[in-house]
């Protein structure tokens, strides 16, 4: 189930323009389009969706570590990100 959910989440993120690295675990490392990981992190946090942001790490500051959740949680995450990115445009 985690594998299937991970693949579905990775595809959803890629569809939003994220670069997603291959993963064999229960989380994904994803580069945010435009490098605005902090902005997406804060927007998700405001919605009660927590992901990991590495703002002080130079090689990771444009990326988020996203745990695979339930289908409902992953759908809320993708929807939240889509809203945040749409507001940026």
State the burial class of residue 16 (Cβ atoms within 10 Å of its Cβ: 0-12, 13-18, 19+).
Answer: middle
Alpha helices in 16-70 (DSSP H): 37-46
Alpha helices in 1-89 (DSSP H): 2-15, 37-46, 71-88
Q: Which of 32, 21, 27, 20 is nearest to 5 (CA)?
A: 27
17-41 pLDDT per residue, tens: 999 999 999 999 999 999 999 999 9
44-75 pLDDT per residue, tens: 999 999 999 999 999 999 999 999 999 999 99
């Amino acid at each position: 189930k985690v594998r299937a959910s991970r693949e579905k989440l990775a595809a959803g993120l890629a569809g939003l323009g994220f670069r997603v690295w291959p993963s064999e675990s229960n989380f994904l490392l994803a580069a945010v389009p435009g490098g605005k990981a902090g902005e997406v992190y804060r927007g998700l946090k405001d919605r009660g969706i927590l992901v990991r942001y590495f703002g002080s790490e130079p090689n990771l500051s444009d990326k988020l570590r996203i745990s695979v959740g339930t289908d409902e949680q992953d759908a809320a995450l993708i929807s939240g990100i889509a809203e945040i990115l749409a507001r940026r445009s």
